[in-house]
Structure 1
């Protein structure tokens, strides 16, 4: 009984130590950057409109905290919705591509096309077609986040160990059983990796779309706030919104990590 209780405790302690080992270096780097930033402002004597001091940025964060929180919620909802839709669409396309090499060769170049076309070039068109609303931001987010997920899932479904494939052939497993019992479990770690790669892209896509949506409607996302504050030359507020965007990306990444470690632990845990 003592052995059974000790393992979870040891595992929890190990995870806490790993978390502390990750957070501490981040805090050290932040503490090193702040004095360098402040010294740069003082030495160069730049006006706040060009480069505000850390003090002005923190004051802007506090004075606009309600707007920043609301913007994070709005942008976060669009990024999370777009990421979830990209997971569904990307996984479906990966399953389709894995079943036919000809189909993969015919359609996969279009996925690369979506990845290579600058989103800032097609976002205005999508917004004209869809309107200045939340839906348009989600569509842009899906386009930006789709390729890494589709590519990762497709790779996981078609990249199999030869001995596993030979075993399924030996037992005469059908294509359906091979997909369900071998390919999908093998692709889950790839799906998680692709989703993690897409979290930052989802936030970027949402903010880029909000640059345009915010100019045509009363939209409260971080991208719209940045556009408004940039037009008013409120650089400290713009930098504060930039930090809020970074925090939003970290939160979304942490959420994906938490979900993958709880719901998909069976396929991810290598211990």
Structure 2
């Protein structure tokens, strides 16, 4: 990519974002929309500054749930994927249950989780983990099975053990797939945390950004709702960007998906 191409890659999204904010502001002015229906960007920014202590505490709670759920998804997803790659019987026995967890809407099972789990924080964590778990498992399992067949035959010729085959061949081959699933799981963990907070919030459990949105809605404090929503969106962008950077750093020197091509 040329220098101008790299500059355009960063400048164009920023320009579009600025234009969107300007259009939002002008629509509010031209149509004389009151702030309790659609606040102007400046009102949202002032609310974000004035309510920052409250919003920051809620941000930390949502971020903590998201990070813990993502860590558990990585640990459980990668561990199960390795087991599935080593045993076809385990794969056939337990993979359908993982699919069932993925296709069942978390908002439908969250009330049951909060009934059966005594700790509300643990309930939030389980809900977020359910959403983030499957992409890591599915992508890592696919990656472990995608090792080059010629190299697998070579390992067999030299009498490599199952551990050597896994460590030296399958895990490196699965790394790009795992990182792709990790980027997806990062956003899904945030979605799961927010949905779980909504369900828990209706029972009076207040802490995270989703509950802040609910509470602001009850009070008709629409600017605070927009401020909390902006923080959730910003958190999602930061999570995705951080995981994309991690993927680039791990793959840039050897994998085609991250290596820079000439102009």
Q: TM-score range by the shorter chain?
A: 0.7 to 0.9
Say yes or no: does 1:249 pair with 2:213: no
Alpha-carbon distance in 1 for matches of 2:254, 2:202: 45
Q: Which residue of 2 aligns with 1:11?
A: none
Name which of 121, 135, 150 aligns with 1:163: 150
Q: Which of 97, 101, 114 is residue 101 of structure 2 equivalent to?
A: 114
Distance (Å, rounded) in 2 between the aligned partners of 1:182 and 1:247? 38
- In the aligned structure 2, how far is the partner of 1:21 from the partner of 1:151? 35
Alignment of 1:130-209 (within 5 A): 130-131=117-118, 133-209=120-196
Q: Structure 1 CA distance, aligned partners of 2:174 and 2:188?
A: 21
Alignment correspondent of 2:35: 48
Return structure 1 stretches of 4+ with deviation > 4 angstroms: 258-271
Residues in 2 aligned to 1:101 and 1:77: alpha-carbon distance in whole angstroms: 36
SS at match of 1:209: helix
Contact 1:189–1:267 (CA under 8 A) maintained in structure 2: no
Per the alignment, residue 238 of structure 1 pairs with: 225
**Structure 1 residues 158, 189: CA separation in 2 closer, same or farther (over 3 Å shift)?**
same
Give the Cα separation in 1 of the matches to 2:144 and 2:113: 32
Range with bigger deviation, 149-158 or 28-37: 28-37
Instruction: Name whichever of 261-270 and 120-129 sits farther off.
Output: 261-270
SS at match of 2:159: coil
Give the superposition deviation at 1:106.
Answer: 2.9
Change (3 A) 1:86 1:170: same
Distance 2:58 2:97 in 1: 33
Figure out how many residues of one structure are paired with residues of the other and give that number.
Answer: 256
2:59 maps to what in 1? 72
Shift, 1:178, TM fit: 1.0
CA contact (8 A) 1:185 1:267 kept: no
- 1:224 maps onto 2:211 in alignment: yes
TM-score (norm 1): 0.85
* Aligned partner of residue 172 in structure 1, secondary structure: coil
* Aligned-partner Cα distance in 2 for 1:59–1:68: 13
Greater mean deviation of Cα atoms: 192-201 or 64-73: 64-73
Separation (CA, whole Å) in 1 of partners of 2:251 and 2:121: 30
Q: CA deviation at 1:21?
A: 4.7
Contact 1:133/1:217 (<8 A) preserved? no
Q: Distance in 1 between matches of 2:244 and 2:188?
A: 16
1:81 aligns with 2:68: yes
Gaps of 5+ in 1: 1-13
Deviation at 1:22, TM superposition (A): 4.1
Q: CA deviation at 1:218?
A: 5.2
Separation of aligned partners in 1, 2:11 and 2:159 = 53
User: Following TM superposition, by how much is the alpha carbon of 1:183 offset from its aligned partner in structure 2, in angstroms?
Assistant: 0.6
Q: CA deviation at 1:82?
A: 0.5
SS of equivalent to 1:143 = helix
